[in-house]
Amino acid sequence: MSKKILVTGGAGYIGSHTVRELQRQGYDVVVFDNLVHGHAQAVENAPLIVGDLLNPDEISAVFQQHPDIAGVIHFAAYVEVGESMSQPGKYFRNNIQGSVNLLDAMTAAGVKHLVFSSTCAVYGTPEHVPVTEQESAKPESVYGASKHLAEQVMAWYDQTRGVKFTPLRYFNASGASFDARIGDEYKPASRLIPILMEYLLGQRERFFVYGNDYPTPDGTAIRDYIHVDDLATAHIAALNYLWNGGESMAFNLGTGQGSSVLEIINMVREVTGRDFEIEFGPRRPGDAVRIWADNARAKEVLGWQPRYGLREIIETDWQWHSAHPKGYED
């Protein structure tokens, strides 16, 4: 079987780390990205085809140019929760119609294996923690709904076209490459750790903790932070699972351990050797009290194991942001 993999959105944050890991493990990789949020500089040694999944001819042409593609890892999506609520059409068009166009191009080319970048946002506020894959889907944002609907579309392509797929439901993707060459360049930062890094580099005047009255040990919300390189190895494990005859199945990707906002802040202080002021504000509407993954299915079925913890996440993120304060412009 050919070992050529198409990675859509492979110039983005998680996509570029996965491309690197695929190459490290000996796979041939083709990257397809519209570069709206991706960066050509993040794709170091793979062919980059600039195109958009909303243009069916552009993605179909990739399979015609590379008839030996054996599987697809699909990252290409808009991912901002807040923006999704103000621009729902943008998210439904891109995240769902783009996936439909990809699936049509795959089936026309006879490619039957798809690893899908999904999210724990499909669960909304979970009824139970740690969260298993049996948790009911009740997304609370357009972004989460768009990913859940894309999963449903894929299930129908499995039933009608035989496309086997694995939705990988990440928790909080974090960190950067250990050589500080690629990282989370998304600007402006919208997630906790990159926001902290921008604050330490003087790119933000203030840092707010939203809510310190949660029913948690230190009063701040708890999340499951997983290193981006651990996510990369999980995608490859999922692809091999499908190649070995695995049925379509969702997997949670997290460490299985929650960290509070204050624990993140204290680890940042420890790793960077810097003290800094923080301010407390009210809770944000819709923020869950606590959420972390039950990753037993991924461990058992995929043979995957997260290797890194909070310290490595903060260390690599600090190294990346320190080396690239303006992102890939540096």
Asked if residue 120 is part of any domain, the answer here is yes
Backbone angles phi, psi at 18, to 5 degrees: -70, -40
User: How far apart are alpha carbons 201 and 204 in whole angstroms?
Assistant: 8
Residues tagged active-site: 143
- Structural tokens at position 41: 């500089």
- Arithmetic mean of pLDDT, 7-28: 97
Q: Are 209 and 268 in contact (CB under 8 A)?
A: no
Taking only the tens place, the pLDDT of each residue in 94-149 is 999 999 999 999 999 999 999 999 999 999 989 899 999 999 999 999 999 999 99
Question: Is pLDDT above 70 for 220?
Answer: yes
Domain ranges, residue 140: 4-174+225-253
Q: Which residues of 7-28 are buried (b: 16+ CB within 10 A; e: fewer)?
A: bbbbbbbbbbbbbbbbeeeebb
β-pair partners for 5: 29, 71
Q: Indicate if 139 and 205 belong to the same structural domain.
A: no
Asked if residue 145 is part of any domain, the answer here is yes
Q: Are 221 and 290 in contact (CB under 8 A)?
A: yes
Question: Is pLDDT above 60 for 313?
Answer: yes
Q: Indicate if 152 and 282 belong to the same structural domain.
A: no
pLDDT value of residue 11 = 98
User: How far apart are alpha carbons 270 and 256 in whole angstroms?
Assistant: 23
pTM: 0.96
Tell me, what CATH number does 295's domain have?
3.90.25.10
- Arithmetic mean of pLDDT, 267-293: 92
**The pairing of beta strand 164-170 with beta strand 251-253:** parallel
Question: Is the omega angle on the peptide bond into residue 130 within 30 degrees of 0, that is, cis?
Answer: yes
Taking only the tens place, the pLDDT of each residue in 241-250 is 999 999 999 9
Asked if residue 42 is part of any domain, the answer here is yes
